[in-house]
Chains A and B, each alone.
Chain A
Amino acid sequence: MIRAIPIIVSQTIASGFVALIWLFIPFAATAQEVASSPPSSDYVSRAEYDKLKAEHEEMKQELEALKAQIGQLAKGPAAAPAEGKQVVTEMPSQAATDELRQQVETLKSQVKETFPGSTKFLLAGYGTAGFTARSGEDPFFDAAFNAIFLWKLTDRLFFEGELELEFEDEETTINLEIAQASYLLNDYMTIGVGRFLNPTDYFVERQHMNWVNKLPDKPLAVYDGLLPESELGAQSRGVIPMGPTKLEYVAFVANAPGLITAPDDFSELGTLDFDNDANVGGHVAIGGHVGFIPIPQLEIGYGIQRSKVGPRDQAVEAILQSADFNYVQDSPLLKGLINFRAQWVWSHVGDFVYDPDGQQGFGPLEFNNNRNGGYVQLAYRPTHIDNDIIKNVEGVFRYDRLNQLHTPVGFDEQRFTLGLNYWVTPSAVVKVAYELDDKNGGARDQNAFMTQVAVGF
């Protein structure tokens, strides 16, 4: 019995030891797996899972809300459904959008064209303000406004009128510069009747507008000098294309100028009165101008007007002539625009006996009145310079002259003018110029400083 007790104890200890081993094996295996796997922190706990699930649900709801919002935006502004009408929810096609846009543009254009002055009738013109300080005279400011009315009555009939309002002798004067109806007879001829700019004088017809003329004042002889500024009559004009060249022509009949035989100012004796609207003397002037354009940059022209002037029973012949040369070249080599113009005019009034009976106190006085004059002008603007200020600056030089020493006026005159312009826009300019004056025959030289602002519209 005593021998049996140690056997039972030893068997129990062995069984316990084996049981311990068996118990240890799973723990040992688990311990090996733990050593080769990621840290236990990557495992999601229930709380974390629930939190993630809640966030996922929230994001799903936000996504649905965004989808709904985008859908509404694509359909355009929500229109209130009218009663009995179906709400359109389809997206407009690109073609429909383009068509709608085109209709809107057309309507805008039509509305714009109904504004006053923009359909068939156009109010254009130019305005000027200036300052002149001329030696021997009081300096003064001046201003002028020229309103030009253009009216296209039909595709062939056209009316043009111009009123000039300016200060003159402390008064505001209004002059009718142009009042002409033109009819396009065919491709090569236009007929015009009324008051029109003198076609023989290139400067008057093309350059005298203050926003076009490059200096504050106008050249001697060609403007307010030896040729009339406008004619009252009828003209026919047109252009003959000849390959790459063109030939322009104008022919006209008009009231003849009057002959000044009893002037208030003796220096005007034997000159022509171009404001002879009543056609005193009853003479008719005929004239014309031809211009040839061999290349687009160059135009050469010649104009003439011939008429009888003076009292009907003592009429003498008056011949006015003009030659013009105009060259405008945009030169990449000189990095700018070259503008060269020249014009010379001649005035001849035949032999006439003034104050034949001596009643005016200076006669009888018999003479031919032959005068001539003109100008040469060069302007340069560096339009190719890549600087917004410099490219709008223009330098101008002009030489103009009037030869009349052997007439009652009694002096010749020549001027040298230097000018500097700044073009604010293509039709708005600020001009500054200094003019050196030189008169022969005892008359006083009158140098001048001039500024002018001119705006064309």
Chain B
Amino acid sequence: MKEIVSRIRKWIGLPGAVIIISCVATTWLISCAANQQSGQVSAAAATGKGGAELWAENCIRCHNIRSPSSYSPAQWEVVMMHMRVRANLTPEEHKKILEFLKSGS
């Protein structure tokens, strides 16, 4: 038995452990999400920050912040969906930043 565990540990190593942890976390997330209605914002994400603040905080982490007037409201819808995926924005961040950008465009 010890030998089997040792072989598994050797095979898995640190990289494998990270992947396994990611998979477990993913599974847990799916189960959590399944219990929630679509589009519902989790309580944990309720940061209380406004759209302008979230816009500045999240965008500047990678690039200069662009003016809300850079795109039309319809274009911001597309851009923000792209950024939600690429920059891993929470639903709340996505919603608030989009509202802010659309109001200023």
Contacts and interface: CB of A to CB of B under 8 A. Distances in A.
A187 B64 contact: no
B85 A239 contact: no
Contact of A239 (B60, B64, B90): B90
B42 A241 contact: yes
B88 A237 contact: yes
**A-B pairs with the 10 shortest C-beta distances?**
A186-B33, A241-B45, A426-B64, A296-B57, A239-B88, A248-B88, A122-B78, A304-B15, A187-B91, A188-B29
A242 B36 contact: no
A417 B35 CA distance: 51
6 contacts: A151-B78, A188-B32, A297-B57, A304-B19, A306-B15, A427-B66
A118 B60 CA distance: 25
B15 A187 contact: no
Interface stretch (A79-87, A284-292, A368-376, A441-449): A284-292
Nearest to B44: A241
Contacts of B85: 158, 160, 182, 184, 190, 192, 237
Nearest to A120: B78
Given A237-B85, A246-B90, A288-B18, A118 B74 contact: yes
B88 A426 contact: no
Interface in A321-360: 321, 326, 328, 330, 337
Given A113-B74, A206-B87, 12 more contacts: A109-B73, A112-B72, A119-B74, A186-B30, A188-B29, A189-B30, A209-B63, A211-B63, A239-B89, A286-B19, A290-B22, A328-B61
A249 B25 contact: yes
A315 interface: no
A171 to B, nearest CB: 30
Contacts of A237: 85, 88
Contacts of A290: 18, 22
B33 A426 contact: no
A97 B19 CA distance: 62
A426 B13 CA distance: 44
A389 interface: no
Interface string A409-438: 000000000000001001100000000000
B79 to A, nearest CB: 7
A426 B66 contact: yes
Interface centre among A241, A297, A330 (most CB of B within 10 A): A241
B68 to A, nearest CB: 12
Contacts of B89: 239
Contacts of A251: 19, 22-23, 26
A306 B23 CA distance: 15
B102 to A, nearest CB: 11
A150 B78 CA distance: 7
A163 interface: no
Given A152-B81, A426-B66, A185 B33 contact: yes
Contacts of A240: 25, 29
Contacts of B18: 288, 290, 302, 304
B50 interface: no
B4 interface: no
Given A187-B41, A288-B18, A150 B82 contact: yes
Interface in A90-149: 109, 112-113, 118-122, 124
A241 B62 contact: no
Contacts of A120: 74, 77-78
Given A251-B23, A423-B64, A152 B78 contact: yes
